[in-house]
Structure 1
Amino acid sequence: MLNTQVSFITPTESSNDVFPIIKLLRQYLDENPVLNLQKYMSINEKADNVNELIDNVAKDIEVTSQVLVIGSDFVDLYGVLQKLDLHKISTRNFITVLVAPTGVLKIIANDALRRYLNSAGVYVLAPIINISENFTIKISTSINATGPVLDLDQIEEPALLYSACYAFCVARKKYDSDTVDNYYKTLVGQEYTNDLGTFKFDQNGVVLRDYQLMYLRNDKRGNDTVIMTVKAQYAETCGPHYQCFTVRGPGGKTTKPSSHETLTSKRRTITSYALMGTVKAEFLFYRQFRRIRWTKPELRYLTELKALNHDNITKFIGLSCNDSADVYILYGLVERATLEDFIYDSDFSLDFTFKSAFARDILRGLQYIHKSSIVAHGMLSVQTCMIDANWVLKLTNFGVSSLIHNFMTDGTLQCTTSIALEVYCLYAPELLREIAHCATASVPRGTQKGDIYSLGMVLYQMVYRMQPFPKKGNLVDQMIRMNEKYALNLEKLVKERTDLLVAAQEQTDRLLNEILPKSVAQVLKLGGVIPPRSYDSATVLFAQLCDFPLLVGKSGPDDVETTGETYMVVSGVPTENEGQHVFEIAEISLEIRETAMNYVVEHCPSFKVRTRIGFHAGPIAAGVIGIRSPRYCLFGDTVNFASRMQSNCPPSQIQTSEVTANILMKSEEYSLVQRGIVHVKGKGNVNCYWLNEHIHDLSNEEPEGNVHKPDNENRPKTTQQKLEDQNATPLPKSLIQKK
C-alpha cells in the first residue's frame, strides 16, 4: 500500500463554510502513512479566478498517479468535476473515488451528476444511512405540517442533524457539564437507539458508521453496484484518534471460511477469476505502459509454455496484452485450496502422509518443468501450490517470471500493488540483489537454482507450519505463544476424544438395539434388571427364504459363517398391545411375501424369490439370557407351534393355525382359505388356514366356500391369483370346503 500514489482534491474551508472531509483524511495519513500522498490540492470556489485554479489542479493531476480522491463537499460539485475533465483522467487508468461523508442520496437525486459519475467511471465512498418511511414523515411534518413528504435526498441532512442532537441530549443527560471533553468521554463505547436505528460510539465519542464503496448506475432504480462494505467496529486497542474497521467482501458476506467446513467441503476464497467460454482461469495482471512487440523467440517460448502438460502442473491458458491498460496471464483455476490454506489451518492435521504426498507432487512437477524448454518455475511458493479435488498438488504461475522481469526492466510493465516482504523472503538472495539495483523491476527472474531455494522455503513451511523468518519477539512473547498453541491443541484433542466417545456410544446403542428390544436395552443400559415373565397372548412369526443355498451358490460369496435362512418376529412382547399383535403379524407377513414376489435379484434376475411364512398366537414366556452377551429369548408352546406352521407351509404361502385364523376372520378384513387337516409334529392333526390378503371393503354377501373375500368382479387380481400366475403351489380344490 505504501507504493500506492494518491492525490487529494478538496474545497478550502472558507469555500463553503464546512470542514472538508479530505482535510481529515490528510490528517489521518500524516499520523498513519499507509498511502503515498503525492498531491494535496485545494480549490476556493469563492475566488474570482476559480476557473484558473481548477485548470491548474487539472494540470497537476496529469503528473500524479494511480488514485485520485475528491471530496463531495463542493458547493457546485457537478461544475467542478466537469472542469476537472474526469473523462480524460479515466482514459489514463486512474482510479477516481468521490468521498461523500453526508451520504449518497443527494448525489443520486442529481440526474446529471449521477450520469457524469457513471460515464467517467468514478466510485463513490459513502456512509450507510438507513432512513425509514416513518422517520421521513415525522421530519417532513415537523418542518412543514401541511407540506408534502420530503424526498430522501432532502431528508438526509436533517437525519444527520437529528442524530447529532439526539447524541448531545443523551450525553447531557448522563453528564451534566458544559465541557466538550466530558461529553465525548461519556459517549465512548456507548450505544443508543432512536428512530434512525441503533448507534455505537468509538473511543473518541464519534458515531461508528458502516461505509460502502459503490459504482453508480445511470438510472435511479436502486441497482447500483456495491463493490465493498466496510463494517465499523468498536475496539479498545485502536489508535488514539481513529476508529478500526473490518473489511468484508461483496454483499457484506465475510470471506472467512465457515467454522463447520470439512476437508471434503473446504474451498479457498477466490476474489475474482476469468471465464473463457466454460473454462475458469485465475490470472496474474500487471499495469502496461507501452505496447508489447513480441519477438520470434518470445512467441516460440509462449507456444512451448502452452504445450506443457503434466499431472502436477496447471494448464497455461494464455496471455492477454495490448488490448487494455493491463496484461493478464491466465492459468487453469483450481478451486479447492492452496498449500498455504492447509499449512496454516490449525484444524487440519497435516501428518506425515500428507506431507510426503505433497512433497512428492511438488518434486514431480518441478522436475518436469526443469527438464522442459521452460527451464524454471520462477514463482514457487506455498501460494502457487494448488490442491485439487482429488488431493493432487499442482504447480501454477510457472514460466513467466523472466518475461515479466524483462518487461519491468524496460518500463513496459509495472506491478499494480506492492509485493509483501514475506513473499520476497521466498526468493534466493542473488535474485533479490538483481532487483535491488533496478528501480522498476519488482519481480525476480526465474532460475533453476532459485527454484531449489524456494523449494526449501516451501518444505520448511510444510514441516514446521510457520514462516521461514518469523518475528520471534522476546522470551515472554514466545512463552505466551507456546502456551496459547498448547491450549488450542489441548482443546482440539479434548473435542476429538469427546466426539470419538459419542460416536462409540451411538454405535453401542445401535448394536444393542439390534439384539434387544429398545425398552429392554434402555433398562439394561441404566443398570436395571429384566425379570423373566409370561404373557397371556402374543403372536410369533417365522419366515424362511426358500432355495437360499441355491441363491448362495449362484452368488459366489466367501463362506465365513452360516447363520440360517429363517427370521423370527414377535408382537405383543415385551410391550403388550391389547390383542393387536395378531393383526400386526398378519400385516407383516403379507408385506414380506409381497416384497419377495416383486424383488428382482440384480446379479441373477431369473431367480424367483419365494418365502415360506407361518405364525401362531398364544401364551408365551420371555426374558433376557446371558450377562456378557445378553439375548432376549422367547419360550413356550406358541413358539414351537409357529415354527411348525412355517416348516409345513408350501413356498409363497402364509400358514396359520385355526385359533389364529378365527381371530382374523372375526375382523372380516382378511381373506383366508381353509387348507384342511395337516399333520404337525408333536401336535398331531391340526386344521390350518392360508392367509391370502387384507381386504378393506367387504360386502354383506356370504362368499362361496370357505374363501373369505368380497364379491366384487371389478376388483384387481388377488394375491392368490398372482401366486397362480407365478406357478406357485396352487390351492387344492379338495381342500375348499363349505363352512
Structure 2
Amino acid sequence: MSATARTDPSTHDEISGDIAVYKGIPVQLKHLHFKDALQMNKEFLHEFKMIRDVNHANLARLYGACLDAPRKVLVAEFCPKGTLQDLLGNPQIKLDAQFKFSLTIDIVQGMCFLHDSQLRNHGRLKSSCCQIDNRFTVKLADFGLPTLYNNIAVDRTSQEYINECLWTAPELLRSDVAMATKEADMYSFGIVLQEIITRESPFFNETLDVTVSEILVKVIKGSNPPMRPCCEVPHRLSELHELMKSCWSEEPAHRPSFITIRKDLKKILARFGESGNLLDTLLRRMELYANNLEKLVEDKTLELREEKKKSEELLYQILPRSVAERLKRGLRVEPEEFECVTIYFSDICGFTTISARSTPMQVVDLLNDLYLCFDAVIDAYDVYKVETIGDAYMVVSGLPQRNGNKHAQQIALMSLALLQAIDTFRMRHLPGEKLRLRIGLHSGSVCAGVVGQKMPRYCLFGDTVNTASRMESHGEALQIHMSDPTKQLLDDFPTFNIQKRGVIEVKGKGPMSTFWLLSSSS
C-alpha cells in the first residue's frame, strides 16, 4: 500500500484521512488515535468480521485496518466527491428538490440495511459520515466497530466535539454511558434532513443568537416544545419537513423507523410523478451534475477572462502594447533604433526641502497624488511615459509608435498642460504651498529595448536622453527649457510662442543655444 502526498483531513479531531492506493484502487486511510492500547480480543475480531461482510450500494466498504504500526489506520472506500457536508456547503452546486429527495433516499436505504443487519444501528450518523461517490450516490461510513471507536481518544472539551453533539439524540446526551440505538439514529437522521433541506449547518438560525453549548444545554434539559432547529422550508419540501420533525421527537418510541420513512418517501415521489427507478435517478443526477459543471466552467471562464484582462491592462501600463504583445507570445523583443524622438524630463524644485518637512508616508502620498494628476494629463497626447524616479518624470513621443514630425509638438503641448496642472495642484499635508515644476525637452535619436526578465523595463539609450536631462537640470522653476533641435522641429508649428534664452554652458556638453517655450495659441 502506498499513500500519495494529497491529504484530506476529516471533520473529526480523532480521525484524519489520506488518499492511498490498495490493489490498484484509491482508498481512504482514516488515522486513529487511541486513548489506551487496543486489545485484539475475540469480540473485536467478531465486530470486524461483521463489518467486512457488509455490502450495500449505500454503504462505504471497509477493506481492512493496520493497527500494529506507528500510524494506525482504517482502509476504507474512497468517495471522490467528499462528504454530504461538503456538497451541501458548496454554493456552486445547485440542488433542486429532486436531488434532495434522491440524497435522502440514499441515506434511508443505507440505514434500512444497517438496522436490518447484525450491526443493528449506525451510532455516529451525521452529514460528515455520508460520503459522495462519482455518481453522486450517498454512502454511509464510520458505522459499526463499537470496541474500536469507544477506545478512540476524544477531547470532550474541544469545540469540534461539542459541535458534533448537535447530531446526538437527547437521551444519549443525558446518559453517562451512551449506547447507540435505532431511535438515536433516527434523531441524527432528522438533523441531517435539516441540513439537506436548508443547506445550512445544524441549528443554524439558533447559533446566530446563542452558542452551541447553550443549545445543547437546552436540548438536554428538555422543554415543551423541545429545543429543535427552526427553519423555513419551500412548499415542495413541506412533506419532507414533516418527516424531519417526526424523526427528532422527544420520545424515542414516537420516532418512525427507517422502513416507514422509506415508504413515505416513495409515496411523496409518486405524487411528484417520479418513478423511483434507479437508472432514472442516476440519469437525473448526472444531468444535474453536468448542468452544474457547465455553469461552473462558464463562471470560471468568465472569471479567467476578467483576470486576464486586468493582467493585460496592468502589463500595458508597464510596457508598450506592441512590446507586451511580443512578450506574451514568448518572442524576444529586439532593440530598435529611432531616428528622431522628443524626450521630456521634469522634477520638483525644492523637493528635498519638502521631504525633510514631511513624514515618509506623506512623501509617498504626495508623489502618488502628483503622478496620478500627471498621468491623467498626458493621456490626451500621443506620448509614452517611460518611468518615474523619485520626483523625476520622464515622457517620450515618437516611440514605440512613430508619429512623423509630430513628436515635438505633442511633447510641447503636454508640457504646457502639465504647467497648468501644477498651478492648481495642492499637497494634502501642506495645502498652503505650491509645487514648482522644472521641465527640459530635447529631440534626437535613441535606441529602445526591454531590459531584464524579472520586472522587465522598457528603457531608452543614447545621448539624446542625457541631453534632455541636462535641459531639465539647467532650466528654471515653472519654465520649459528646450534645445535647438526641438525648437527647429517646433518651427513647423507656428502656434508656439518661443523665446531665445541664448548660449549657456551645459555640463558635459559645452556651450549650447537653448530656448524657453512660453505658450501656444492652439
**Higher fraction of helix:** 2
Larger radius of gyration: 1
| Fold match by TM threshold 0.5 | no
TM-score (norm 1): 0.33
TM-score (norm 2): 0.45
